Structure 1
Amino acid sequence: MTSLSDEMFQVAMDREPLFASLVGVAGWDDRLEDLSDDGEREVRRRLDDILSRVATSDEDPVTLAVVRHQAEFARHRIDARLVEHTVAEGLAAPVNNLLMTAPQVDMSRRLAQVPRFLDQVAARVRDSDRRPLRRHVLSTSARLASFLESPAQEWEGDSSGDIRAAIARYRETLLALDATRDDDRAGLCWLPDGERNYAALVADYTTTTRTPGELHQLGLDLIARLREEYAEIGSRAWGTADVSRIFHRLRTELLWDNEEEMVTHAVRAIARAEAEAPRWFGRMPKARCEVKLVEEAERATAPIAYYLQAPLDGSRPGVYWLNPLGATERSRTQSETTAFHEAIPGHHYQTTLAAETELPDLRKYAAIDAYLEGWGLYAERLADEMGLFSSDEQRLGMLSADAMRAARLVVDTGLHAFGWSRQRAVDYLRANTVMPEPEIQSEVDRYVEVPGQALAYMVGRIEIQRLRAEARERLGDRFDVREFHDLVVGSGPVPLSTLDDLVTTWAGRP
C-alpha cells in the first residue's frame, strides 16, 4: 500500500520533474510539467485528496506535518496563479528554469514535450488577468532573443527547430501583451486576490503565524541592531565606528579583480570549513562539493550564488554555483559568508546528509524554505563560531549578508503587503545594505516574482538559534553541539514548529 508521504512525493515530482532529474530521483526523466489550466486543476484535486486523509493516516507525526505543509504550499501556489506573471526570475520562471536546467540533465526522452510546455506557459500568460512587470517582459524577451540567435545547444538534439519555434512563439506572446504592470504596482497587493494569496505564501514560506506587519517591523529592528555590530567590527578592523564610512568602504574597496579570484577564494574557504567540520558535526556527507561559475548565457537571470545538491547515484558532486555578473563591482568581503551558506556547513551539509538517510523521499526533498534557508543563514553565524572567517573584513561581509536578509523582511512585505513601488524597494536596499547596484536590481526583481520566499531566511535562522540556546540551557554540560546539528540536518526539511518539537524532545531526554 502506498503511503501518504509517497503520494505527496509523487505529486511534488510530477510538478517538478526537472528537479527530480537534477537530484537523481528515478522515474521522471521522460516528463515535463503540465502547466495547463486542466493540468493544474488535476494536481489540485490530488492535493485536496491527500489533505483530506492526513488526519486518519497512521504515518509518524513528523512525516505527516511535512505532507500537510507541502500539500498546502503547492495548493496555494496554484491558487495564486504565479505561472501567469512570473516570467523573469531564474528558477521560479518556468521558461527560464527550463533553459537553465536543461543543459544539466538528460533531456533526450522529453524533447518532444518542450514545445507543448512552452505553448502552455504562453497560453497561461496570454489569457490571464494577472500581468507581469513591463521591465520583466522586456528583459526576458531580450534573453530569449539572445538564445534564439545563438548556436543550437547540445541538449536540444534533433528537436532544435521545433524547440526554437516554440520559444519564439512564447517571446511573441510576451511582447504582444496588451497590458503590463509598471514599477509602481510591483507587488501582489495590486493583483486580484493579492492580499489573500500573499498571506498564504507568507505562512507557507515562514511556517509561522507572523503577519506581514510583524515581519516588516522585525526587519526594521534587526537593521537597527546590525548597525551596532558594524560599528564594533569596523572600529577593530578599520579604526572607525562611522557606519556610513564603513558602508562606503565595503561598496568601493576590496572588489574582485577578475572572475577566477571568486572561485579560488571560495575553494579555500570551503576547504577550511571541511577540515573544521568534524568538531561540529557527528556525521559527514559522502558527496563532495565543487565550485563552478554560472554559464555566461545564464548570468543575467541566475542568482548571485546558489547550490545544486549531488544526485543520489553519486554521478557528480554537489555544486556551488557562483555568478560572476558584475564581479569587479562587487565586494569580495561577502565571499566567505556566501560559501559557508551555500556549501559547508550550509546547504551542502544540510541537503546531502538528509539525502543519505533512510527518511522517506518526501522528507529528503521537501521544499520548506524556513528550514532550508534558515539553516543556510544559521550556517553563516556558525562559521564565525567555528573560526572560519579569515579576517574582520570578512566578518563585515557576514554582517552585510545579515543586513540583506533583514532588509528582505522589510522590502518583501513592503512590496506585496504595503504597496511599495519597485523604486522604493531599491532605495531602501541602497540605504541599508552594501549590495552593489546590479545585485540590488536583481534582488528586487526576485522579490517581485517570488513573493514571500525572501522572508524565510531570517525567520528560520532566528528559530534555529532559539532552539539551540534553549536546548543548551536545559541540558547544561550534557549539551553536545554535534548532536544538535546532526538532529537538525538529519531530520530533513520540516516546518519550524515540528523542528521545535524534535529539539524539545531531544533536550528533554533522561
Structure 2
Amino acid sequence: MSLADEMFTALMDYSPLQAAMLGVPGWEEGLGDLSAEGQRASRDRIASLVSRAEMDDSEDPVTLAVIRQQGTAVVDRIDARLVEHTVATMSAPVNSLLMISSKLDVSGRLGLYPRYVEQAGERVRDSDRRPLSRHLRTGVQRMDAFLALPAQEWEGGHSDDIRAAVAGFRDVLASIEDGRGDDRAGLCWLPDGERNYANLVRDYTTTSRTPDELHRLGLDVIASLREEYAEIGSRLWGTADVPEIFHRLRTELLWDDEQQMVESAVEAIARAEAEAPKWFGRMPAVGCRVRAVPPEEQATSAIAFYQPAPADRSRPGTYWLNPLGATERSRTLSEVTAFHEAVPGHHYQFSIAGETELPNLRKYAFIEAYLEGWGLYTERLADEMGLYSSDEQRLGMLGLDAMRAGRLVVDTGIHAFGWSRQQAVDYLRENTVMTEPEIHSEVDRYIETPGQALAYMVGRLEIQRIRAEAETTLGDRFDVRAFHDLVVGSGAVPLSTLGRIVSAWTGAP
C-alpha cells in the first residue's frame, strides 16, 4: 500500500462518516472514537505517517505535500481538543451526527450511536475547556428540539437507545454551570490557546500568514469593497451612500416565498451549465440537483451547502437550500451562493477531481483554503462569465465578499486578540449586509471552529494571484479553459503547491 493510501485509510478510520459522505466503500459500519484515548491513538497513527512523509521520496512531491497537510491538520485539531468545547454549531459532533443521518445510509452504524453521543458528553463534562454559557444553552435547545420530534425513519429499531443517549447529552450540557462568558469567547482564553490557534491558522490557510497579517488583510478588503458598493449603488439606486445601501439590502429585495428561492437557484445553475463550456474544457460526468432541507432539519442546518455525488455516481451532486425564514432573507444572495456551492463552484471541483485517476487521498482531500478559495473564486468568475442577471445580484456578490473579508477580521479578533462576542457582532453589523440572525449564527460558528473561516478569502486571493501570474507569463498563449481544468483536475492541494503546479504548467522559472 502506498503512503498516500495509508494516510487515506487512517483518515477514514478516524472519521468514517466522512467516508460515508464521500461515498467511498469500506467504512459502512463505523462512527469513530471521540474518547480521549481513542483520539490519542488516532493522533499517534496519523502523526507517524506525517513523519514518514517528511523523509519519503517514493511519492511525487504534490502527493507528499497533501499527505503532510492532511495529516498535520487532523493532529492539530485533536491537540486543540475542540470536541470539548464545541456543542452548539454544525461542527459539534452530536449536532453534525443528527443532521447528516437522514442524508446517508446509517443503518450499519445505529448501534454505535449511543456510545458516540455518550463519549461527546464525557469529553465536555470532564474538560477544563468550557464552552460558552450561551452555547451550552443553545445545545440544550437543539437536543430538546430533536427529542420533541417523532422518531425518524433513519433511527430504525434503535430509536429508544439513541434518544436516551441524546437526552443524557442534553443533561450534561444543562448541568454545567461554569461556562465561559461572552467576553472570553476565543482560544486565547483557553490553555495553550495561542499555540493551538497558530496551528489551526496554518492548517486552514496553508500559508505562513500570521493572525495579525490576516486581520489587516480583512480590513483592507472591507475598505475596497465599499468603493464597489458605492459604484453599483449609484447605478442601481442613484446613491453612493454605503450605510443607505446596506439598509436597503437588509430590508428590501426579500423572497416572497420558499418556492421562489428554490426556483431562482435552479435557473442560476442552468445558466451556469450552459455557459461553462466556454470556460472549462472538462465538464463533470455527473449532474447537480437542487433540494430543500427537510423541515425537521432546518433549525440546525446551514443556509446552503453542497453534498458531492458518491464515488459510484449512484446519485448526482446535491445543492441543499435551507428555506427557513425565506421571507426575511435577501434574494440578492441567491445567484452568488448557487455559483459558489454548485456550478461552477464546489460541484465542478469535487466532481472533476473525483473522476481523475489520482489517489483517493488527492481526490477527496479536504483542504479548505483550496476548496473554499475556489468557491469564492467562482463567485467573481461568474461575473466574468456574465452569469449575474442584474446589478441587484452583483450586490449579493459583494455582500458575500464582505462577509468573508469580515471573517478575517472577526476570527482573528476573537481568537488572537481577545475580542468579545459582542465586538465581533458589532463589527459585522457595521461592515456587512448580514441580517441579525445571520450575524449571530456566523459569530457562533467562528467561535466553535477557530481558523476555518480564514480559508475562504485567503484561498480566493491566492488563486486570483496565481492566475494573474500565469496570464502575465503566457500572454496571448494563456487559455483560461486549460487553467481551470488544471486547477480543478489537480484535486485539493495546499496553496503553495498549487502555485508550483501552475508555474510548471506555464514554464515559469
Question: TM-score category by the smaller chain?
Answer: over 0.9
Deviation at 1:173, TM superposition (A): 0.8
Aligned to 2:75: 75
**Where in structure 1 are there 5+ consecutive unaligned residues?**
none
Deviation sequence 1:179-221 (CA, Å, 0-9, x none) = 1111111111111111110000000000001000000000001
The residue aligned with 1:171 is 170
- Tell me the equivalent position of 1:420: 419
Kept after mapping to 1: 8 A contact 2:474/2:506? yes
Distance in 2, matches of 1:14 and 1:93, equals 19
Cα displacement string for residues 244-300 of structure 1 (whole angstroms, at most 9, x for unaligned residues): 111111111110111111100000000000000000000000111111112222222
Q: Percent of aligned pairs with the same residue? A: 69
Which secondary structure state, in structure 2, belongs to the residue aligned with residue 33 of structure 1? coil
Q: Where does 1:422-437 land on structure 2 (aligned, <5 Å)?
A: 422-437=421-436
| 270-279 vs 12-21, which moves further | 12-21
Q: Within 2, Cα distance between the matches of 1:487 and 1:357?
A: 12
Q: Which residue of 2 aligns with 1:309?
A: 308
**Bigger CA drift: 476-485 or 306-315?**
306-315
**How far apart are residue 419 of structure 1 and its match?**
0.6
Give, in angstroms, the shift of residue 509 of structure 1. Answer: 7.3
Cα offsets for 1:422-442 (capped at 9, x unmatched): 111111111000011111111
2:248 corresponds in structure 1 to 249
Moved more, 190-199 or 48-57: 48-57
Which residue does 1:394 correspond to in 2?
Answer: 393
Give the secondary structure class of the aligned counterpart of 1:303: coil
Report the CA distance between 1:104 and its aligned residue: 1.3
Q: Which residue is equivalent to 2:458? A: 459
Aligned residue type for 1:142: Q
Q: Do the aligned residues in 1 keep the contact of 2:333 with 2:396 (CA within 8 Å)?
A: yes
In the alignment, the residues of structure 1 paired with residue 179 and residue 149 of structure 2 have an alpha-carbon distance, to the nearest angstrom, of 28
1:149 & 1:369 partners in 2: Cα distance?
Answer: 35
Comparing 289-298 with 355-364, greater Cα deviation is found at 289-298
TM-aligned CA deviation for residue 301 of structure 1:
2.2
Q: Which residue of 2 aligns with 1:335?
A: 334
Name the residue aligned to 2:272: 273
Cα pair 1:326 1:438 within 8 Å, conserved: no
TM-score (norm 2): 0.98
Within 2, Cα distance between the matches of 1:14 and 1:138?
A: 32
Distance of 2:104 and 2:235 partners within structure 1: 48
Q: SS at the partner of 2:291?
A: strand
Distance of 1:410 and 1:301 partners within structure 2: 25
Query: What does the per-residue CA deviation read over 1:216-253, in whole Å, with 9 as the maximum and x for residues that have no partner?
Result: 00000111110011111111111111111111111111
d(CA) in 2 for partners of 1:300, 1:416: 27
Q: Name the SS of the counterpart of 2:306 in structure 1.
A: strand
AA of the residue aligned to 1:210: R
1:14 corresponds to which residue? 13
- TM-score, length of structure 1 as denominator length: 0.98
Inter-partner Cα distance in structure 2 for 1:57 and 1:101: 39
Check the 8 A contact 2:11/2:46 in 1, yes or no. no
Amino acid at match of 2:13: D
CA–CA distance in structure 1, aligned partners of residues 241 and 414 of structure 2: 30
Q: Distance in 2 between matches of 1:157 and 1:381?
A: 45
Matched, 1:470 2:469: yes
Equivalent positions of 1:83-482 (< 5 A) are: 83-90=83-90, 92-482=91-481
CA contact (8 A) 1:304 1:439 kept: no
Work out the CA distance in 2 between the residues paired with 1:215 and 1:80: 21
Partners in 1 of 2:132 and 2:247 — Cα distance?
Answer: 32
**CA-atom RMSD, angstroms?**
1.1
Could you say what secondary structure the match of 1:44 adopts?
helix
Question: In structure 2, how many angstroms separate the alpha carbons of the residues matched to 1:414 and 1:140?
Answer: 24
Taking the aligned partners of 1:259 and 1:190, their CA distance within structure 2 comes to: 41
CA deviations over 1:122-169 (Å, ceiling 9, x no partner): 111111001111111111211111211211111111111111111111
CA distance in 2, matches of 1:299, 1:108: 23
Q: Aligned equivalents of 1:86 and 1:108: distance in 2?
A: 26
Is 1:62 aligned to residue 58 of structure 2?
A: no
Match of 1:36 in 2: 35
Q: Letter of the 1:105 partner, please give it.
A: L
Q: Which amino acid aligns with 1:246?
A: I
With 458-467 and 229-238 compared, the bigger mean Cα shift is at 229-238
Q: Distance in 2 between matches of 1:81 and 1:417?
A: 17
Task: Work out whether residues 281 and 486 of structure 1, in 8 Å CA contact, stay in contact via their aligned partners in 2.
Answer: yes
Amino acid at match of 2:461: I
What is the one-letter code of the residue matched to 2:214? L
CA distance in 2 between counterparts of 1:161 and 1:224 reads: 54
In the TM superposition, what whole-angstrom CA distance separates every residue of 1:392-414 from its partner, at most 9, and x where no partner exists? 11111111110011000000000
Task: Verify the 8 A CA contact 2:86 2:131 in the aligned structure 1.
Answer: yes
2:51 and 2:257 mapped to 1: Cα distance?
Answer: 55
2:118 and 2:101 map into 1 onto residues whose CA distance is: 17
Bigger Cα displacement from structure 2, 205-214 vs 287-296: 287-296
- Cα distance in 2 between the residues matched to 1:246 and 1:275: 32
SS in 2 for 1:97: helix
Once residues 194 and 361 of structure 1 are traced to their aligned partners in structure 2, the CA distance between those partners, rounded to angstroms, is 33
CA distance in 1, matches of 2:38, 2:194: 25
Q: d(CA) in 2 for partners of 1:69 and 1:368?
A: 8
Q: Contact 1:131/1:180 (CA < 8 Å) preserved in 2?
A: yes
Letter aligned with residue 394 of structure 1:
Q
- Partner SS state of residue 419, structure 2: coil
Q: Which residue pairs with 2:495 in the alignment?
A: 496
* Amino acid paired to 1:135: R
For 2:85, the aligned partner's letter is H
Amino acid at match of 1:66: V
Aligned-pair CA distance for 1:325? 2.4
* Matched pairs, number: 508
Q: Secondary structure at the match of 2:320?
A: strand
**Helix, strand or coil: the match of 1:53?**
helix
More deviation, 77-86/42-51: 42-51
Give, in angstroms, the shift of residue 178 of structure 1: 3.6
Q: Secondary structure at the match of 2:216?
A: helix
Query: Matches of 1:56 and 1:370 in 2, distance apart?
Result: 25
**Distance of 1:346 and 1:355 partners within structure 2:** 14
Q: Which runs of 4+ in 1 moved over 6 A?
A: none
Structure 2 stretches lacking a partner, 5+ long: none
